[in-house]
Amino acid sequence: MENQIDLTRESDDDERQSTVESDAALARRLSAELNGEAPKNNKRTIDLTADSQEDAAPPPAQRARTDAVSIKEMKETIKRAGLPTKDLIDKPGTETRYAEALARLAERAERDAAAVGARRVTLAPVPAAAPGSRVLSFVLRNSGGRLTASWADGEPMAPQRGFTRQWQDRRVVKLKTHLKAPGTAATVYLAYDADGARGEQWQRSPMAYRQSGCQANGATLMKSQFQKAVRRRLPDVAAKAFRELLTFPKSGGLFVALRRLLIVSCEDSAPLDGINSVLVWFFAAQGYAPTEADVAFILGAAAAVADCPRGPTKKDIPGFDWKKKEAGEKKEYLAELPLADVSRGSRRALDLLFAVASGGIDKWDGDLLLAAASWFTAHEYAPAAHFAPRPQASLGRLRPEECILAAVDGEVGAYGKKRAPIFDVMEQVDPAMKRVKFDGEGGLQKWMGITRQFVRARQSYTPKDDHPEWTRVADEAARRLIAAAVVSNPPW
């Protein structure tokens, strides 16, 4: 038979050797045969080197034939597998390391083949683009925990080598390039590609602030608290306030918090390169369930926006008439939708245009984002800012003594009411405040806006305080509002 081993055949060399040498040569030849191609039949093989046929040792692990492979070629293979070669001093050691290298390369090839198969796995089917609409792809990539987002024309291509597509969806929107332009129909495909495991899903932390039971809504208080921390460049306080805002299930949450972060970055800081696109992706992909690492990135972005040395952006946008609420009608807007490969400015503009089109942004804030998108198309604007992901466990809870008292100003809680609750509490603190004029020049509302609402670290401004007693009463009223919003036993 072809694969049968002939134990009776003797070579010319064996005839010139002693019986012991002949047996040893035969054993070596047999061992080489056994460690080469396995016999096609399943008959028992005999190990002539064993001391006893009854207690035969298990056959050695198969090794690759090395007869036709030089030492140099073996070492090159060993290096390609990432194994060391400096400690190899003899051929047997090199052959052993060579076999280990081949096994490692084979395992690597299997992983690559599995990755290719994973990239071809079809996720939930995504409907085709609407006829006549602009087709764009917006892909978020997670490479070693680092998140980046990029735009491209057309549907998203297959993931890069080593990445798997973990989530995909689409948004059908109307993109406006200026305030009075008709919306342009666009189908935006959203995809999430990662080079590793997705990670643990984000768990909402226990809420430490009430939504009701106090005169100022807790979520509204946290929005103002976060914005004031950004204005004063307090990244730690901003990250804590943003995390608290995430805890409110209805008036807060990720979607509401991201919307506020995008607005604040344009109004009081600056959209940060490499960070703003990721935030817009999370804001638009409302069907995606974020992971703990995703939220750590977002919390780090909130701190980075507060730490940014530039801002407020709206002061840099000429033609943005804030008082008349007619943002940028005299500005030069984009003639057409920006492409991802035109310039960095057009990518920043597309981020903001898509954020507006994704919904949940009112006209006032939408006007600001549209004006900022137009400005970024014509200007390079890349302020330096320190960024690092902030895991929830590393932040701790926001304590009442860390709250910025100016966060409770003349706007907090005033929507749908004649005036903000802080003025009612001021009257509780000092009944004499009831006799103070409320509206008009010299009134409480005007004073509150001047002394508390517009104090910023980036723009040095210290108004003359003509009423220090009002400041004392307002600070005490703010403390009472914040204390009423905090639960009796918060999980700090």
Q: Where are the domains of the chain?
A: 1-62, 218-394, 405-485
- Residues 262-286 have a mean pLDDT of 90
Token couple for 29? 């030849």
pLDDT in tens, 296-337: 999 999 999 999 887 666 666 654 554 444 444 444 445 455
In 3D, which of 245, 273, 247 has the Cα closest to residue 261? Answer: 245
For residue 211, CA distances in Å to 131, 208, 214, 247, 422 come to: 44, 10, 8, 10, 17
Q: What is the DSSP letter of 450?
A: I
pLDDT at 12: 43
3-class secondary structure, 278: helix
Taking the complete model, does pTM exceed 0.85, yes or no? Answer: no
Number of H helices, E strands in the chain: 14, 6
End-to-end distance of the chain based on CA atoms, in angstroms? 79
Report residue 385's pLDDT band, with 50, 70 and 90 as the boundaries: confident
Q: Is residue 338 very low, low, confident or very high in pLDDT (cuts 50, 70, 90)?
A: low
Q: Which helix (H) or strand (E) holds 13?
A: helix 12-15
Check residue 297 and give its pLDDT.
Answer: 96
Is-contact 374 334, C-beta < 8 A?
yes
Is 66 or 481 the better-scoring residue by pLDDT?
481
Note the helical H segments in 382-437. 421-429
d(CA 292, CA 393): 10
At residue 118, does pLDDT exceed 50? no
Give alpha helix (H) positions in 211-291: 218-231, 235-246, 253-267, 276-284
Q: What average pLDDT does the segment 184-200 reach?
A: 89
Q: What stretch of H or E contains 46?
A: none
Report the mean per-residue pLDDT for the chain. Answer: 75
- Report pLDDT digits (tens) over 226-267: 998 998 889 999 999 999 888 887 666 889 899 999 999 888
Q: Which residues contact 324 (CB under 8 A, 6 or more apart)?
A: none
Read off the pLDDT band of 109 (50, 70, 90): confident
Report whether pLDDT(46) > 80. Answer: no
Alpha helices in 232-382 (DSSP H): 235-246, 253-267, 276-284, 292-307, 344-357, 363-378
